[in-house]
Amino acid sequence: MSAVIYHNPRCGKSRETLKLLNERGENVQVVEYLKYCPSFEELKAIISKIGVKPSEIIRKGEKVFKEQYKGQDLTDDEWIQAMIENPILIERPIVVKGQKAAIGRPAENVLGIL
């Protein structure tokens, strides 16, 4: 079974996590989520596999968050929709393998799902 990494090649943590997966010999499918954002249902399933609330994987330092979402009390589905509309808000990298997922911050976090 291959792992899927939701990757931003411009992000050092994302590159570090991809390197770790490759060094471990994992068969990895790379999804550049800023170009190919997961669907609403796919993102909802990924978040469920991580075991967190959608608001917990929002990148709160992003300009779009500060301008459009800071201080808002959104439902889980509304946060997912915000990430679909603004993929830059999705914390990265996310690695999914089977029914498990983890955020690679630090990269070693993904070792528990491999």
Contacts (Cβ under 8 Å, ≥6 apart) of 46? 6, 38, 94, 96, 101
Q: Which one-letter amino acid corresponds to residue 61?
A: G
37 flagged as catalytic? no
Joined together, the tokens standing for residue 1 give 């079974």
Selecting among 11, 45, 84, 114, the annotated active-site residue is: 11
Tell me the three state secondary structure of residue 106. coil
Paired with 103 in beta bridges are: 94
Residues 100/77, Cβ–Cβ less than 8 Å: no
Tell me the three state secondary structure of residue 28. strand
- The residues annotated as belonging to the active site are 11
